Structure 1
Amino acid sequence: MSPTPPVLALPATSDALNARLVDGLEAVDALLRREVDHEDPFIAGANIHLAEAGGKRFRPLLTLLASEVGSGVNDDVVAAATGVELTHLASLYHDDVMDEADVRRGAPSANAKYDNSTAILVGDLLFGTASSIIADLGPEAVKIQARTFIRLCAGQIRDTRRAPAGADAIDYYLQVLADKTGVLIATAARYGAMFSGCDAATTETLREYGERLGMAFQLADDLIDIASDPEDTGKTPGTDLREGKRTLPVLYALASTDPADARLQELLLSETQDDATVAEALALLRVHPAMERAQERTNAVAAEATAALAGLPDSEAKAALAALATSVVTRVG
Structure 2
Amino acid sequence: MQHSLEEIEGRLYDAVAQTDRFADRASKHLIEAGGKRVRPMLVLLAAHLGDPTRPEVIDAAVVVELTHLATLYHDDVMDSAPMRRGAPAAHELWGNNVAILTGDLLFARASNVVAGLGPDAVRLQALTFERLCLGQLNESLGPREGEDPVAHYIQVLADKTGSLIATAGRFGARYSGASEEYLDVVAEYGEKVGVAFQLADDVIDLTSDGSVSGKTPGTDLREHVPTLPALYARQDAARNGDQESLELVGLLDSDLTDDADLTRAREALVAHPATARASAEAHRWADEAITALAPLPAGVAKDSLVTFAETVVARKV
Q: Which deviates more, 152-161 or 44-53?
A: 152-161
Give the counterpart of 2:211 among 225, 231, 240. Answer: 231
2:108 counterpart residue number: 128
Residue 199 of structure 1: how far off its partner (Å): 2.4
Are 2:126 and 1:142 equivalent residues in the alignment? no
2:274 counterpart residue number: 290
Are 2:139 and 1:155 equivalent residues in the alignment? no
Give deviations 1:152-209, integer Å, cap 9, x for gaps.
0110111223211111211111111000000000000110001011222201100000
- Alignment partners' CA distance in 2, 1:23 and 1:197: 20
Residue 267 of structure 1: how far off its partner (Å): 1.8
- Alignment partners' CA distance in 2, 1:40 and 1:247: 39
TM norm structure 2: 0.96
Give deviations 1:93-128, integer Å, cap 9, x for gaps.
112212222221111211122211111100000001
Are 2:254 and 1:274 equivalent residues in the alignment? no
Q: Indicate if the aligned counterparts of 1:159 and 1:245 stay in contact, CA closer than 8 A.
A: no
Residue 273 of structure 1: how far off its partner (Å): 3.5
Residue 130 of structure 1: how far off its partner (Å): 0.3
- Alignment partners' CA distance in 1, 2:230 and 2:200: 14
Residue 242 of structure 1: how far off its partner (Å): 2.3
1:9 counterpart residue number: none
Give deviations 1:64-113, integer Å, cap 9, x for gaps.
11000112132111001001000011111112212222221111211122
Letter in 2 for 1:81: A
- Alignment partners' CA distance in 2, 1:297 and 1:116: 34
Residue 44 of structure 1: how far off its partner (Å): 0.9
Give deviations 1:187-246, integer Å, cap 9, x for gaps.
001100010112222011000000000000000111111111101200012221222222
Q: Indicate if the aligned counterparts of 1:36 and 1:48 stay in contact, CA closer than 8 A.
A: yes
Letter in 1 for 2:316: V
2:160 counterpart residue number: 180
Which residues of structure 2 form unaligned runs of 5+? none
Q: Indicate if the aligned counterparts of 1:160 and 1:245 stay in contact, CA closer than 8 A.
A: no
Percent sequence identity over aligned pairs: 50
Give deviations 1:42-66, integer Å, cap 9, x for gaps.
1111111100001111100100110
Which residues of structure 1 form unaligned runs of 5+? 1-20
Give the counterpart of 2:245 among 246, 253, 261. Answer: 261
Letter in 2 for 1:29: E
